[in-house]
Structure 1
Amino acid sequence: MLEQEAGPPAAQTPDGRQPGVRRLTRRKPVEALVSEGGHGAGGELRRSLGLWQLTMISIGATLGTGIFVVLGEAVPDAGPAVVLSFVVAGLTALFSALSYAELAGTIPVAGSSYSYAYATLGELTAWVCGWCLLLEYGVSVAAVAVGWGQYIDELLHGVFGAGLPAALSAPPGDGGLFNVPALVVVLLAMAFLLGGAKESARANTVMVTVKILALLVFCAVAAAGIRAGNYRPFMPLGMAGVSAAGATLFFSYIGFDAASTAGEEAKNPQRDLPRAILLSLVLVTAVYCLVAAVAVGARPWQRFEGSEAALSGILRSVTGHDFWPALLAFGAVVAIASVVLTVLYGQTRILFAMSRDGLVPAVFAKVDPRSGTPRANTVIVAAFCGTLAAAVPLGRLADATSIGTLFAFALVNIAVIVLRRTRPGMRRAFRVPLSPLFPLVGLGLCLWMMFSLDTVTWAVFGVWMAVGAVVYFGYGMRRSRLNAAPRAATAPVSGEE
C-alpha cells in the first residue's frame, strides 16, 4: 500500500500555486510517471517492441561513425593496445549503463533520463537534463547526417568513379550551397518513424544486421594481411597511452541509452529494458574489440596517424582492389542511416514526455490514433534537424553533443542514489550492484570527461543553457502540469514491494 510522506502541507499562493523555490524543486512521483505511460494528446503510443528490437535500437544508435572514424584517432595513442582501450572505454560506459538499466526498469517511460531526474531531483533539474538531451540528439542527428553524405560520396566514387558536385554535398561556408544527402537521410528516417515504432524497429534491425555483417566482412578480408610483428610492442606508449585512447573512444559508446527512450513502446519494459541496455553494450564492445584487433594486426600502428578512413585503407592495401573498400563504404552508409533513425526516434520521444508534462508546447505530445506515433512531433524535429544538417556548417558545434550526453549520464547516476534513499522498498527489476559505489564511480568518470573537454565546447554549452533558462522561466515553469498541483500530486510517496 502506498502512503503519503509525512510532513507539513506545502505552502501555496492565493491562486493555489506553489511559491517560486518549491516550484523549481517539485518532483513527479514514479507512480504518476508510469501511469501516464503511453498516453498523449489524441491517442496512445503502442507497446510493440520486444527485447530484440530494443537491443537493436541501442546498437543502432551506438554502432556508427565511431568505429569507422575514431579508430584512426585512437591507435596513435595506444598502439596495438587500442583493443584494451576499447575495453577501458566500455567499462567506463558500463557504470552509467548499469544506472540506466536500473532506472529504465523502474521508471519505464519515454523521457529517459529527463523523466528519471523529474522523479528524483526536481523539475528544474529535469528541464536542464531534457534541454541537454535536445542538444545531444538534435545536433547529433545533423552531424551524423552530414557524415552520411560524405560516405555516400565515397561510395559513388568507388562504384562510378565520380561523386556528387560540391555545391550539392556541403552547406554554405563549407564549399557548397546545400547538403542534399544530409537532408535526404533525415527525411528517410522521418518516413520510417511516421510508419510506426514497430515498422521503424524492423528497418533498424535490418540496417544493424547489414552494418555488423560489413564489419565482419572487413575482419575476414583484412585477416589475410595480419602480421604478428604488427602487435609488437603491444603497449608502446604504456598505460598512459591506453587511457588517453580510451577517453577518445568513450564517445563511440554514446547511444546505448537509446532503448530507454522506448519505455512506453516496449511490451515488457521492466524486464526487457535493462537487458537491452546491457546486452547492446556487451555486443558493441565485442565488435569494436574484434575490428580493432584485426585492424592493428593488418597495418603497423604508426601508419594510422591522420587516417580518417583507416578501415577502407586497410582493405585497399590488403586486397589491392577498390571493391572491398566500396563494400565497406556501403556498410558505413547503412550504419550511419541507422544512427540517424534511432537518434531521431529518441529525440521525438523525449520531446513527447516533456510536452506531456507541459514544459514544451502540446503539439509534441499529440499522437496519431492510426499509426500510434507522434506525427507532428516527428515532422517538426525532422524538418529542424534536416535543415540544420543541410544548410548550416556545424564545425565544432558537433562536439557539444558530448557534453550534453555526459551531463545526462551524470544525472542518471545521481538519480539512482537518490531513488534508493527515498524509495528503498520500491520494486526494481534490476539493481546496480555495490550501490552507491558504482553510481558514484559512474558520476566521477562523467565529470572527469566533461572537464577534459575544451573551452569552445563549454562556451557552446553555456550559451545553450542560457537559452534553456529563458525558455523554462518564460514558458515551461508557468505551463507545467504540476504548476498548480497540490502536494499530494507532486510530493514523492513511499512504499514497499
Structure 2
Amino acid sequence: MQSLRQQLCRTKPVPATGAAEPPGQGLGRTLGLFPLTMIGVGATIGTGIFFTMVEAVPKAGPSVILSFLIAALTAGLTALCYAELSFRIPAAGSSYSFAYATLGEFAAFIMAACLLLEYGLAASATAIGWSDYLNNFLVNALGWHIPPSLRAPMFASGPGGIEFHPGAINLPPMLLVAMCGHLLLRGTKESATANAVLVLIKLAIILFFVAVAFSGFDAANFTPFFNQDDSKGMGGMAGVTAAAGTVFFSFIGLDTVATAGEEVRNPKRNVPVGILAALVIVTVFYLLVAVAAVGAQPARMFAHQEAGLSVILQNVTGKAWPALVLSAGAVISVFSVTLVTIYGQTRILYAISCDGLIPKAFRRVNPRTQAPVGNTVIVCLAVGLTAGLVEATFLWDMVSMGTLTAFIVVAIAVPVMRRKGIGAGQDGFRVPFGPWLVPGLSVLACLFIMKDLSRATFHVFFVWMAVAVAAYFAYGLRNSRLNRDAPGPVAQPV
C-alpha cells in the first residue's frame, strides 16, 4: 500500500509516458518536420503581432522592442529545455508529460491545470481579436460592418469594474471556433496541412506590412524610447517588463510543438528541431513588425486602437487597399492560431485522460479520423462561450501566467531528468553548459517577467490552482492509471 506522499510523487515510466492505446484507437503518427514547425509558427505569429501591440506599446512605449527581446530570450532558454525533454520523453501532453515522468503525479496534474488555463484562454483571446479584423475587412471591402451588439462581450471592463451587458454577444469568434472544431474533427493530417498553407500566407502578409510600414518610418517616433508615464508603475524598465509579460503568451507555440509528440514521425529528432526552428522564425518576424509599427506610428496612438496594424497602413499610404490586404491576412492568421491552440488543448486533455486523471471521455478517438471527437467538441464549446461572452483584456495576462508557469516546470524537469538518468545513453540534443545553468536562467527569467503581471492575475490564478488541487484529490488520485497498473510503489519520491 502506497503512502500519500508516494502517490503524489510517483512518476510515470518513460516508455509508458503518453497514451498506450491499441492500434486504430490511439493517435496516428502523420506529422513530419515541416508541418510540425508550421504548427509552432502558426500558434505563435498572429497573437503577439496583430493584437498585443495595442496592449503592450502603451505600457512600454517604443521600448516594446526590448519587451519582445526579453520574452524571446526567456523563450529561447526554455526552448533548449523543451528540446532535450521532447527527445527523451516523446509523448503527447507536452509539459504535463515531462512533469509526470520527472517530478511526479501531483506536480503533473497542477501543470496540466496551468496548460488548460493557458491554451483555453489563448484560443478565446485570439478568437476575440479576430472579430476586430474581420469587421475592418468587411468595412474596407464592402462598406458593411458587423452590428456592435453582435461583436460586444456580455462581460466588459468599465469605470466601476466589470460591467454586465445582457443584450450583447460577440458572435464572430464563436463562429470561428466552430469552424476550427469542424476542421479538427476531420483529422490531424488535414488540419496540419491547412495550417501550413495558412501560415505561409500569413508570413507573406506580414512581410507586406513591414515593407509598407517602413515607407513611413520616422525615427522621431522612438523618442523618448522608454514610457514616461509612471502613474501606474509603467515608467522606464517597469513598463518594459510589464509589456514583456503581456506579449509572452505569444510564445505558446513552443509548447504546442511538444504537445504533438505522439503524432510526429521520428519525434526524437523532429520535435527538438521543430521547437528551435519555430522560435527563430517567430522572433525574427516579431522584431521586424515591432520596429516597423513603432517607426510608422507614435506610441501614444496604439492605446485602444482597433485592428491597429491595418490602421497604420491606411495612415501611412492614405489608401484603403493596404489595410484591406492586411485585414484579410489577419483574418487568415488568427484562424490558424485559434486552430492550433485548440488542437494543443485537446491533445493535453487526451494525455491526461489516458493517465486516468480525468474522465475517459476525453481520450475516445474516432478510428477513421484518429481525432478525439468528444474532447474536441467539449473544448470548442468552452472556448467559444468564453470568446463570445468575455472581454479579451481579462484573458491576455492569464495566458502569460499559465505559459510562464509551464516554462518554469519544464526548466526544473531537466536537472531532475538528468539526475534520474531518464533517457541516458541516447544520442540526441542536450541542453548546453550542463543541467543547471540554462534551466536556472530560464526559471529566473520567467520569474522576472511574472513579477510585473497584475495583482488580479495572481488572484485568479491562485483560485484556479485551488480548483485544480480539489479536482485531483476528488477524482485524479483515486482513478490514476498507475493505481491499476502497478501493484506497489512505482517510483521514488522526488
State the TM-score, normalized to the length of structure 1. 0.89
Moved more, 111-120 or 416-425: 416-425
User: Cα offset for 1:202?
Assistant: 0.8
1:116 to 2:114 alignment: no
Contact 2:133 2:307 in 1 (8 A): no
Paired residue for 1:471?
A: 471
Of residues 167, 172, 175, the one that matches 1:181 is 172
| Deviation per residue, 1:431-488 (Å, 9 max, x gap) | 1112310101111122232332222111111211121122111111100011244367
Distance in 2, Cα, partners of 1:199 & 1:271: 23
Contact 1:73 1:307 in 2 (8 A): no
Distance in 2, Cα, partners of 1:302 & 1:147: 20
Root mean square deviation, CA, Å: 2.5
Distance in 2, Cα, partners of 1:277 & 1:355: 25
**Cα 1:249/1:474, change in 2 over 3 Å:** closer
| Deviation per residue, 1:100-154 (Å, 9 max, x gap) | 1111111111110001000111100000000111111112212222221222122
**Cα 1:302/1:404, change in 2 over 3 Å:** closer
Aligned runs of 1:91-170 on 2, under 5 Å?
Answer: 91-170=73-152
1:54 to 2:52 alignment: no
Contact 2:128 2:392 in 1 (8 A): no
Paired residue for 1:217?
A: 208
Distance in 2, Cα, partners of 1:301 & 1:394: 21
Distance in 2, Cα, partners of 1:143 & 1:303: 22
Larger Rg: 1 or 2? 1
Paired residue for 1:15?
A: none
Moved more, 158-167 or 363-372: 158-167
Paired residue for 2:426?
A: 427
Paired residue for 2:284?
A: 286
Moved more, 454-463 or 262-271: 454-463
User: Cα offset for 1:302?
Assistant: 5.3
1:66 to 2:48 alignment: yes
Moved more, 162-171 or 135-144: 162-171
1:312 to 2:327 alignment: no
1:325 to 2:316 alignment: no
Distance in 2, Cα, partners of 1:451 & 1:358: 35
User: Cα offset for 1:222?
Assistant: 2.1
Return the letter of the residue paired with 1:418.
V
Distance in 2, Cα, partners of 1:251 & 1:334: 20
Contact 1:105 1:274 in 2 (8 A): yes
Distance in 2, Cα, partners of 1:120 & 1:96: 16
| Deviation per residue, 1:387-406 (Å, 9 max, x gap) | 22224556525532221221
Q: Give the match's secondary structure for 2:481.
A: coil
| Deviation per residue, 1:143-191 (Å, 9 max, x gap) | 2222212221222122222311223223434554332211111111111
**Cα 1:123/1:426, change in 2 over 3 Å:** farther
Of residues 176, 191, 198, the one that matches 2:182 is 191
Contact 2:187 2:371 in 1 (8 A): yes
Paired residue for 1:9?
A: none
Distance in 1, Cα, partners of 2:151 & 2:296: 33
Gaps of 5+ in 1: 1-11, 13-17
Paired residue for 2:363?
A: 365
Paired residue for 1:267?
A: 265
Moved more, 331-340 or 291-300: 291-300
State the TM-score, normalized to the length of structure 2. 0.89
Contact 1:61 1:258 in 2 (8 A): yes
Give me the identity figure in percent: 48
Q: Give the match's secondary structure for 2:122.
A: helix
Distance in 2, Cα, partners of 1:236 & 1:464: 33
Gaps of 5+ in 2: 157-164, 229-235
Distance in 2, Cα, partners of 1:316 & 1:445: 38
Distance in 1, Cα, partners of 2:79 & 2:372: 27
**Cα 1:426/1:152, change in 2 over 3 Å:** same
Contact 1:222 1:294 in 2 (8 A): yes
Q: Give the match's secondary structure for 1:110.
A: coil
User: Cα offset for 1:78?
Assistant: 5.4
Distance in 1, Cα, partners of 2:309 & 2:80: 31
**Cα 1:390/1:444, change in 2 over 3 Å:** same
